[in-house]
Amino acid sequence: METRQDVLEWLNGQLRFGIKPGLERIEWMLNALQIEELPSIHVAGTNGKGSTVAFLRTMALAEGLNVGTFISPYIIQFEERIMLNGEPIREDDLVRIANRVRDCASASPETLTEFELLTVMAWLYFHEQQPDLVIWEVGLGGRLDSTNVLTRPLATVVTSIGHDHQGILGDTLEEIALEKFGIMKRGVPMFHSLTDERLIALLKRQGEAMDASIHDVTPLVTSIEDGTDTVVTYDEMKSVTLGLTGHHQAYNGACAVAVARHLGWKAEAIRAGLEAAQHPGRYELISRQPRIVLDGAHNAEGVAALVEQLKLERDVTVLAAILADKDRGAMIASLQMVADVYETTFDFPRTRTKESLIADGARYVDWQDWLAAWLETPKSETLVVTGSLYFISAVRNHLAKDIQKM
């Protein structure tokens, strides 16, 4: 492999192996490559984990640390998945790392999946760069996710539990929660922003069994001022305007505040991180005139949070592309309470077809033509593009040709 395109084609070629839960393949690779664990934070959750990683990263940078992050999916470019100090991995490093991982994987007793190979690439890159801290975002679930080969993180985080990926993680919230709680490590504190008492009780029982202290971060939030900006007052801190907008971001921020305080980071670094955090595709304002917002609300709980924020907007149009394995009916019904909703499809394996959307009564549009017409003559004060994060990425890149942030 000589170019980033070669790497992407190699990884995409592994997608046919699907999802294979388990840690044995990753452990074999890390041992073969002689990679040792670095100081880490591990973040799981149905929604909010990416935003929590963003808050933690900017706090760590303000603290003066060199920090690596592993996230999924990406919004702007593939290389965002492996970043050092907020900068995506460079092409020459990506190609070199990928070649080493491919050569090692060729000797593996079992074939690795695309996500497993990508995870090993991140481990190898960070092993070479030796940052002070690595923040790992779980890809799917937790217990059997390939990031869960960490043995002694500094802290673990569970942001939320919702209905998502039931076919893999379980049918009930309790079953899904146990998968996400599976990132807990013996003696390592876990921080959470859960509100369901059943799940909190389940988490506490698991914490007792693992001798891991459990910390509810929600009491840290003493007030939230919702609006086009989100202003939050945290315990022992003056009010702060978050870099990420939305009522729910106050609690993602609280997870980061609690972890940062646990690690002894300075108060001014914590505040600076809250203010400076950016996370593409999470209520991201990409144009002020016309007002266009991108938000990757890709499940029912994410849409519920989006709807609460949209109540603060005026005259909203929504363009949504919801994947076939999500509860489209509930998501669209929620959005229709606050907006004029159009639906579309896009080039992605798990997307709904045009025919199925029309059969289900959707107001179907071809998104590229529809967006071009809307930009020429906006039909409302605010346009929100939502649904799959992969769709958000496609729209963001498409609009970059026509819109500059104002």
Instruction: Please determine, for residue 372, whether its predicted confidence score (pLDDT) is greater than 80.
Output: yes
Strand bridging mode 340-343 / 316-321: parallel
Question: pTM value?
Answer: 0.89
pLDDT of residue 165: 45
Rounded-to-integer distance, Cα 374 and Cα 319, Å: 11
The label of the residue with tokens 């400076």 reads 276
Residue 258: both structure tokens together: 């609690």
Rounded-to-integer distance, Cα 78 and Cα 200, Å: 35
**Is 119 in contact with 33 (CB distance < 8 Å)?**
no
**Is the CA virtual torsion 402, 51, 260, 57 positive or negative?**
negative
Average pLDDT, the chain: 92
- Report the candidate in 48, 180, 23, 52 with the shortest Cα–Cα distance to residue 115: 23
**Is 257 in contact with 231 (CB distance < 8 Å)?**
no
> Which range, of 197-201, 345-349, 365-369, averages the lowest pLDDT?
345-349
> Of residues 73 and 354, which shows the higher confidence score?
354
CA distances to 284, 322, 388 from 300, rounded to whole Å, are 19, 11, 12
Q: What region does 34 belong to: left with phi over 0, alpha with psi -120 to 50, or beta?
A: left
Residue 122: both structure tokens together: 């991140």
Strands (E), 182-306: 190-192, 214-216, 221-225, 231-234, 240-241, 284-288, 291-295
> Which range, of 18-27, 48-57, 175-184, 225-234, averages the lowest pLDDT?
18-27
> Residue 44: CB partners within 8 Å, gap ≥ 6?
138, 141, 142, 145, 156, 157, 158, 159, 180, 183
> Which range, of 22-26, 250-254, 274-278, averages the lowest pLDDT?
22-26
> Residue 279: CB partners within 8 Å, gap ≥ 6?
50, 51, 54, 244
Instruction: Please determine, for residue 366, whether its predicted confidence score (pLDDT) is greater than 80.
Output: yes
Rounded-to-integer distance, Cα 204 and Cα 158, Å: 13
Rounded-to-integer distance, Cα 202 and Cα 181, Å: 9
Q: Can you give the three-state secondary structure of 108-173, one letter per residue?
A: CCCCCCHHHHHHHHHHHHHHHHCCCEEEEECCCCCCCCHHHHCCCCCEEEECCCCCCCHHHHCCCH
Over residues 122-133, the pLDDT tens digits come to: 999 999 999 999
pLDDT of residue 173: 86
Residue 79: both structure tokens together: 């290389």
Q: Assign 406 a pLDDT band (cuts: 50, 70, 90).
A: very low
pLDDT of residue 397: 87
Rounded-to-integer distance, Cα 21 and Cα 110, Å: 13
Q: Where are the alpha helices (DSSP H) in 263-401?
A: 267-276, 300-310, 328-336, 354-359, 367-376, 389-399
Rounded-to-integer distance, Cα 310 and Cα 246, Å: 9
The label of the residue with tokens 């388990």 reads 22
Residue 311: helix, strand or coil by DSSP?
coil
Rounded-to-integer distance, Cα 305 and Cα 335, Å: 11
Residue 55: both structure tokens together: 């808050």
Instruction: Please determine, for residue 302, whether its predicted confidence score (pLDDT) is greater than 90.
Output: no
Strands (E), 23-89: 40-44, 67-70, 82-84, 87-88
**Is 395 in contact with 367 (CB distance < 8 Å)?**
yes
Rounded-to-integer distance, Cα 58 and Cα 387, Å: 26
CA distances to 17, 217, 220, 226, 234 from 223, rounded to whole Å, are 47, 14, 9, 10, 7
